Amino acid sequence: MNELQGKVALVTGAASGIGRAIASAYAQAGARVVVADIAAEGAAEAAAAIGHGALGIAMDVTDEAQVDDGFARTRRELGPVDILVSNAGVQIISPLVDLPFADWKRMLAIHMDGAFLTSRAAMRQMVESGRGGSVILMGSAHSHVASKFKAPYVAAKHGLLGLARVIAKEGAPDGIRSNVICPGFVRTPLVEKQIPEQARELGISEDDVIRNVMLRDTVDGEFTTLEDIADAALFLAGFRSNALTGQSLVVTHGWHMQ
């Protein structure tokens, strides 16, 4: 399985969870991978564990200089980027009426500014190299549906659909595709943290949060897995033409059906 042989892929938020699983799958498929994360030690550790020459770099996706420097280093050390997975993300659980403005702005900065800054840097390299590429934004089921207590997350994840569609239109002449992956609940640190938080906000048990909030509308009561999302990311990265661009791929055990 060397379908990404010769490609350079940069994955943000790749020290943990979904990003790490995608970076690992890409490396196994032959790509030279950059593990970019605000957690510098975590990025270095993940890159070492992934192997295949993966490069760990410290990058806060909300910081323009750090993003541009990280992409410049990638080009110097591995070559121009062919695949971006803009995946870094956090979650804040709070009723909208109690949400501090600073938390709203921080969420939009990580999810939206981060997607913009990394997409811009990746597209510049894809245009310059003449090879085009694939820009994958990590959305969520919450790109399509809403849940209580997640106002900035739901707003930002919906916003990524619009950004991907613009990238698809502007990138097409240069062979740049853009799509959004929309996972259901995957048991990463981001989700483990919110199970007790949601139980508190809703006044129910943690088991009820899992069964009656997170997985209630799936077809089979199952969590989505890291492997499911890595498979989707491999499929989108390897897809060869503009036939599949500007889309969102919903991987949620049927929680949301388009």
Q: Catalytic residues, which ones?
A: 153
89 belongs to the binding site for ligand NAD (CB under 6 A):
yes
User: What is the pairing mode between strands 176-183 and 247-251?
Assistant: parallel
Which residues, 6 or more positions from 132, have their beta carbon under 8 angstroms from its beta carbon?
Answer: 82, 126, 171, 174, 175, 176, 177
Give the sign of the dihedral formed by CA 231, CA 33, CA 11, CA 193.
positive
228 belongs to the binding site for ligand NAD (CB under 6 A):
no
CB 43 within 8 A of CB 51: no
Query: Which residue's CB is nearer to ligand NAD, number 174 or number 208?
Result: 208
134 belongs to the binding site for ligand NAD (CB under 6 A):
no
17 belongs to the binding site for ligand NAD (CB under 6 A):
yes
State which of residues 25, 29, 59, 160 lies at the interface with ligand NAD (CB under 6 A). 59
- Which residue in 228, 189, 160, 188 sits closest to 22, CA to CA? 228
Min dist CB 239 to ligand NAD, Å, is 20
Residue list 18-47, contact with ligand NAD (CB under 6 A): 18-19, 37-39, 42
- Taking contact as CB under 6 A, which single stretch among the options 74-82, 165-173, 179-187, 196-204 is the one that binds ligand NAD? 179-187
Supply 253's token pair.
């055990």
Min dist CB 172 to ligand NAD, Å, is 25
110 belongs to the binding site for ligand NAD (CB under 6 A):
yes
116 belongs to the binding site for ligand NAD (CB under 6 A):
no
Cα 254 from Cα 245, distance rounded (Å) = 22
- In three-state secondary structure terms, 12 is strand
Cα 188 from Cα 230, distance rounded (Å) = 14
Residue list 185-224, contact with ligand NAD (CB under 6 A): 185-186, 188-191
Helices (H), 51-150: 64-77, 101-108, 114-129
How many other C-beta atoms can be found within 10 angstroms of the C-beta atom of residue 178?
Answer: 29
Min dist CB 15 to ligand NAD, Å, is 4
Tell me, what amino acid is at 61?
Answer: V
Query: Which residue's CB is nearer to ligand NAD, number 127 or number 182?
Result: 182
- Taking contact as CB under 6 A, which single stretch among the options 58-66, 158-166, 170-178, 234-242 is the one that binds ligand NAD? 58-66
State which of residues 33, 88, 168, 237 lies at the interface with ligand NAD (CB under 6 A). 88
183 belongs to the binding site for ligand NAD (CB under 6 A):
yes
Cα 197 from Cα 223, distance rounded (Å) = 18
12 belongs to the binding site for ligand NAD (CB under 6 A):
yes
Residues in contact with ligand NAD by CB under 6 A are 12-13, 15-19, 37-39, 42, 59-62, 87-90, 110, 138, 140, 183, 185-186, 188-191
